[in-house]
């Protein structure tokens, strides 16, 4: 610690260069914090359902496989299940086939299982009574200037009507409003339509259900309830997997892509670039101070001390930028999770430990070459400018 003032002065000898390097390090570890939260959420998904207020039951084989509607009654009779609803993916597009909107065909009580979302009583009554009625998220309504009473033309990307057309027409009867910004974020970008109208209007559904949502009476018994629901269809041609909503979303994405490989590839590229950038900064910093390092050796600093100071300077640079970047990620993730509706876990102690280890390791790696050169520096040659 007695050399800290020398290390600090050397680090900020070229303030602009150091600042720009710090910005790059902050960005790298901000990205690390966000992506590590994604990785952690996928690793934790499905380990335990206890603590979940709702469970989602889908096909064990694939998320595109449907389930028979006859499962509603036995799922509702499972001890611990307070209520059960069901839904199908509709896949609606507005104005342009590429402009897809999350849209689900749902049972009449579907919205009741999500107390974090509210619909004015009059609008809810209109939805229950209007066969072609839909509820739209408040963000969608604001984006497209929709209002209650408007006709909503949607083009299904999957399901045609009985006449072969994929053009559907609905009536906007209500707006979905999350009760607070930390819950129900997904519903701001969602369209809900009647499952019965959907099932009657397309020849390709025939009474099947995409998934069931169950509300449990005791969150500490959610694991037991999930196993009891899956036991209903055990050894049948429609075996189910019941899990938390976050785990269901994670498994759906896993079937589309290898998230672990994607995250690892991105972080590998980021840290490789960071090592090149930081290494170049340290090489330039040591080269500029060649004569100063020679003077330190002249007045009694050992080669080991010079080696240690250069390595400490490199590690300190990474620690300052890394801690700031990871700190920003810690603050941002709750807001991102609330706004997107994704179940991202907060940056915890494990993430911080891994991050600090990476900061130290990268600092040592990028600092070792200039540090060894400084240690082997010949005093006479350095002072002579050779």
pLDDT per residue over 69-83, tens digit each?
999 999 999 999 999
- CA 113/CA 83 separation, integer angstroms: 7
**Region class of 272: left (phi > 0), else alpha (psi between -120 and 50), else beta:** alpha
Claim: this prediction has a pTM higher than 0.85: no
pLDDT at residue 377 in the model: 67
DSSP label at 347? P
What stretch of H or E contains 121?
A: helix 121-129
- CA 216/CA 32 separation, integer angstroms: 36
The 3-class SS string of 129-185 reads: HCCCEEEEEHHHHHHHCCCCCCEEEEEECCCCCCCCCCEEEEEEEEEEEECECCECH
pLDDT at residue 227 in the model: 93
- At how many degrees (to 10) do helices 259-288 and 245-256 cross? 80
pLDDT at residue 120 in the model: 93
Q: Is 117 helix (H, G, I), strand (E, B) or coil?
A: strand
Weakly modelled stretches of the chain, pLDDT under 70:
1-3, 5, 41-51, 180-185, 250-260, 288, 290-294, 337-344, 377-386
Phi, psi for 55 (deg, rounded to 5)? -125, 145
Burial readout 164-182 (b: 16 or more C-beta within 10 A, e: otherwise): eebebebbbbbbbbbeeee
248: number of Cβ within 10 Å = 21
pLDDT at residue 340 in the model: 56
The burial of 46, by beta-carbon neighbours within 10 Å (0-12 exposed, 13-18 middle, 19 or more buried), is given as middle
- Cβ atoms of 103 and 291 closer than 8 Å: no
**Region class of 164: left (phi > 0), else alpha (psi between -120 and 50), else beta:** left
What is the CA 146 to chain-centroid distance, rounded?
29
Q: What share of the chain is helix, strand, coil (3-state, %, to 5)?
A: 55, 20, 25
């Amino acid at each position: 610690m007695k050399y800290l003032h020398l290390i600090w002065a050397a680090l900020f000898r070229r303030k602009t260069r150091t600042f720009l390097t710090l910005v790059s390090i902050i960005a790298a570890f901000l990205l690390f914090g966000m992506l590590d939260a994604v990785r952690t959420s996928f690793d934790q998904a499905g380990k335990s359902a206890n603590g979940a207020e709702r469970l989602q039951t889908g096909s064990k084989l694939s998320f595109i496989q449907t389930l028979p509607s006859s499962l509603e009654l036995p799922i509702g009779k499972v001890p611990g299940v307070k209520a059960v609803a069901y839904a199908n993916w509709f896949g609606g597009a507005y104005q342009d086939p590429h402009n897809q909107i999350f849209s689900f065909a749902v049972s009449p009580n579907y919205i009741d299982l999500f107390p974090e979302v509210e619909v004015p009583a009059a609008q809810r009554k209109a939805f229950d009574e209007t066969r072609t009625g839909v509820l739209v998220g408040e963000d969608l309504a604001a984006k497209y200037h929709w209002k209650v009473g408007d006709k909503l033309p949607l083009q299904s990307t999957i399901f045609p009507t009985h006449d072969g057309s994929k053009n559907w027409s609905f009536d906007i009867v209500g707006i979905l409003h999350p009760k607070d910004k930390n819950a129900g974020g997904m519903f701001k970008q969602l369209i809900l339509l009647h499952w019965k109208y959907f099932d009657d209007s397309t020849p390709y559904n025939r009474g099947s259900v995409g998934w069931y949502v169950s509300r449990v009476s005791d969150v500490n018994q959610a694991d037991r309830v999930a196993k009891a629901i899956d036991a209903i269809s055990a050894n049948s041609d429609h075996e189910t997997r019941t899990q938390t909503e976050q785990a269901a979303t994670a498994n759906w994405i896993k079937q589309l892509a290898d998230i672990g490989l994607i995250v690892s590839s991105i972080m590998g590229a980021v840290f490789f670039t960071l090592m090149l950038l930081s290494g170049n900064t340290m090489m330039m910093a040591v080269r500029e101070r060649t004569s100063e390092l020679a003077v330190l050796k002249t007045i009694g600093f050992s080669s080991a001390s010079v080696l240690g100071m250069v390595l400490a300077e490199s590690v300190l640079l990474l620690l300052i930028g890394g801690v700031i970047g990871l700190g920003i990620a810690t603050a941002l993730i709750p807001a991102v999770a609330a706004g997107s509706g994704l179940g991202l876990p907060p940056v915890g102690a494990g993430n911080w430990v891994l991050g600090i280890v990476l900061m130290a390791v990268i600092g040592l790696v990028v600092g070792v070459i200039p540090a060894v050169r400084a240690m082997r520096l010949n005093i006479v040659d350095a002072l002579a400018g050779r």
